Amino acid sequence: MAILNILRYPDPRLHKVAQPVTVFDERLEKLVADMAETMYDAPGVGLAASQVDVHEQVVVIDTTETKDALQVFINPEILWASEEREVYDEGCLSVPGIYDGVERPARVKVRALDAKGQAFELEADGLLAVCIQHEMDHLKGKVFVEYLSPLKRNRIKTKLLKEERGMERAAQLRAQGRRF
């Protein structure tokens, strides 16, 4: 297993639409295992393959405190969403350190395949429902900050680009043997 590199907003690759998975093989099993390890290491509760620059419809989620109940959703589709909506403070491994309220359906029913290609359906509410919807947005090329106002979105983009420039500069200084 390996820790994968998580793309950071506003990386344009986060806006690529993921393609359906058609082959269930060792490569897919390794991708799922690497995504799970990456999510747990980050630490996060969900990760879409799009966030690690693999544009296939693969999502891993574990909303438990004990981090021992990994759920895999391949080619997920929402069959039903409640009319009732709730606002949750969402964060994202691709948008580190940023949390904001996003309104979504309170409950969903999803159909997907597991890592072996077996179909299943699941009804979810609470954090799991939010996670499913959030990660499925990634598969469509959408990041949660796109639900926010243009002003908030631009502030977030500016902040993250500034942080990235700072990290790049620090890496350059380290490569030159400088301490700071």
Q: What is the mean pLDDT of each run of 10 residues along the chain (180 residues)?
A: 93 97 97 98 97 98 96 98 97 95 98 97 98 98 96 93 79 70
Instruction: Say what the pLDDT of residue 21 is.
Output: 98
Question: Considering the domain boundaries, does residue 164 fall inside one?
Answer: no
Question: What domain count does the chain have?
Answer: 1
Tell me if 127 sits within 8 A of 90, measured CB to CB: no
Domain span holding position 135: 12-148
Question: Considering the domain boundaries, does residue 85 fall inside one?
Answer: yes
Strands of the chain, DSSP E: 46-48, 58-61, 71-81, 85-92, 95-105, 107-113, 119-125
Residue 77 annotated as catalytic: no
Residue 127 CA to residue 121 CA, distance in Å, equals: 17
Spot the catalytic one: 123, 135, 164, 168: 135
Report the candidate in 159, 5, 30 with the shortest Cα–Cα distance to residue 93: 5
Question: Considering the domain boundaries, does residue 5 fall inside one?
Answer: no
List residues forming the annotated binding site. Answer: 92, 134, 138
Instruction: Say what the pLDDT of residue 176 is.
Output: 76
Instruction: Say what the pLDDT of residue 180 is.
Output: 55
Instruction: Say what the pLDDT of residue 179 is.
Output: 61
List residues forming the annotated binding site for Fe cation. Answer: 92, 134, 138
- Tokens encoding 147: 């639900």
Instruction: Say what the pLDDT of residue 42 is.
Output: 96
- Tokens encoding 136: 């499925």
Question: Considering the domain boundaries, does residue 78 fall inside one?
Answer: yes
CATH of the domain at 27: 3.90.45.10
Residue 14 CA to residue 156 CA, distance in Å, equals: 15
